[in-house]
Chains A and B, each alone.
Chain A
Amino acid sequence: MDRHLMLVTTELFAADDLPVERCSPPSEAGLGKETYCMSSIGYVGNGVKGVLILAATRAAAEAWTRAAGGLECDLVDTVGEFSNMLLGRLKGRLLKEGIPISLATPLTVIGDGLRLSVAPGVSSWQFFEGPGWHLGTRLDAAFEAGFQRKETATAPAEAGDAILF
């Protein structure tokens, strides 16, 4: 799951001309005092549930908003939308792994010095840096006992195929 998260984060921002690179935590406390916005989206599947959290600095939110052609007042919407797109891409990858999920709607907050308390050991933060800004992502997933991946569907018939029963 963590690997997928890293890949979709890199892909998403690259697709919006905002290339990012994985980096070490900018401070001992992750983004620390620079944390300006956070967005969380819950998800649930058969036997799995969790939440995606995206945290970013103010410079990050402003850069994403500019890239999306938005205005200063759109920061909350932009951050929510990016978290939505991130989990949407993750959903596509998880589907191929036989883990279909449904998503909730994002909850986004902005403000100076945001701090988030998360249960230790459930998952871990990944940090990325862009030009002059940082972001952190985290995917918590709780699997129920007996969780099984859905079997990948049989490949569909192709053009020209003729099957007699």
Chain B
Amino acid sequence: MRVILLNDRRAERDAMVRALPQDTYRVEAVGDETAALAAIAREAPQVVVFSVPTKGGQDLARRLRGGENASEAYLLAIVEATPANKELSNLITAGVHDFMRRPFADIELIERVKAPERLLRWSRAVSKPNAFDFSAALDVNALRSWRTLGQLVAEDLGEMAGQPFAVSQGYPKQLNGTAPCASIPMSLAGDQLELRLSIVADAVATQWIRGTLLGDPVAPDNAVHDALRELANTAGGALKRAALGESITLTTGIPRDDSSARFPGKHQCWSLELEGGAGCLAVVGEIRARSNERISAAQLAEGMVLAHDIRSEGGVLIVPAGSRLTATSANRLAAMLGPRYFLEVAPAS
């Protein structure tokens, strides 16, 4: 295993080199960042051990991680005896995997440098192409709720609007790329799929939103966009509840404006006409493949969706698969599980 050791304290650096068995590790020890980056560029290391400076440790970690050949390296940081909690969490965010506090014994250094070997062996074993990966090949198009999406959405939006919609298949011809649009992502994390529901309003429907939904014919654009987001939210809810009836659990995200109104994924469209020529809304349902990521619990963030259950050591369910994380729950889980707990998530949309 190749180890790059970056430490500007010469005596400590020499001691670390002597501590690591030469028959197991090929250690290249350097005293500054430039030499470390050059060493990484010459030959990819499996482990990078570095002494965190008084200031700028997070940035140093990022630069080491960002160096050519370093994206897969295991980063082990050496910190002072009582580092601030914020310093540690900043280092984790920057990509550091583990820490050692000064002063440390030789045996601790050896054990911590050994740890990534076990992780690498395990990681290779589960990523073999012929291994059972149990990722479900859900055929979304076979779901009745997906095939009848236009009608489903029309019913709920009609309730919201206080009037029925006339539904037809196809994208309204009068809509162009500049029409106001809001979309809501809906995750199937276990299947590495994302469904995206979009609502697009033509010019007449936009005025209808102002006058009827908002009760203000001169309501500002941001109010119209907010209303469209809520229409997308309602549409997402309709699909989610219908899919539940087919034993499919979708995780809804937060609706947002979608200025492009472009739909690159496989999609289907419906046109919802308002009564009395009051305009037309387009409903677009898109299917996108979305690869999950394997990350440290310390990297959990708002918007991520858990791809599997999280259980305690005793097997008690803590958080079920499909849960969408808020900032609150992401922080709570990160604190509970720690940086060495790795889990699979669908990234935030």
Contact = CB atoms under 8 A, between A and B. Distances in A.
Given A103-B134, A107-B130, A159-B238, A92 B139 contact: yes
A157 B246 CA distance: 14
A156 B244 contact: yes
Interface in A16-61: 42, 44
Contacts of A145: none
B244 A159 contact: no
Q: Using C-beta atoms within 8 Å of the partner chain, give the interface range for chain A.
A: 20 to 34
Contacts of B316: none
A122 interface: no
Nearest to A160: B159
Contacts of B129: 105
Given A91-B136, A92-B138, A104-B134, A159 B155 contact: yes
B272 to A, nearest CB: 16
Interface string A145-161: 00000001101111110
Contacts of B137: 84-85, 87-88, 91, 103
B22 to A, nearest CB: 42
Contacts of B237: 159
B156 interface: yes
B246 A96 contact: yes
B136 A88 contact: yes
A103 B135 contact: yes
B132 A89 contact: no
A42 B142 contact: no
Contacts of B136: 88, 91, 102-103
A89 B245 contact: no
B197 to A, nearest CB: 15
A15 B266 CA distance: 15
Contacts of B135: 103, 105
A67 interface: no
B241 A156 contact: yes
Contacts of A1: none
A150 to B, nearest CB: 9
A159 B159 CA distance: 8
A92 B246 contact: yes
A64 to B, nearest CB: 16
Contact of B133 (A11, A87, A104): A104
A98 B301 CA distance: 34
Contact of A88 (B132, B139, B234): B139
B159 A95 contact: no
A132 to B, nearest CB: 26
A100 interface: yes
Interface string A88-125: 11011001100010111101000000000000000000
Contact of A91 (B132, B138, B234): B138
B143 interface: yes
B164 to A, nearest CB: 14
A44 B129 CA distance: 18
A155 B136 CA distance: 23
A156 B238 CA distance: 11
Contacts of B156: 159
15 contacts: A44-B134, A85-B139, A87-B137, A88-B136, A88-B138, A89-B142, A92-B138, A92-B143, A92-B246, A96-B247, A152-B247, A155-B245, A156-B245, A159-B155, A159-B237
Interface of A: 11, 15, 42, 44, 84-85, 87-89, 91-92, 95-96, 100, 102-105, 107, 152-153, 155-160
10 A-B pairs with the lowest CB-CB distances in the bound complex, closest first: A88-B137, A88-B139, A102-B134, A95-B247, A156-B244, A104-B132, A156-B241, A84-B137, A89-B142, A159-B156
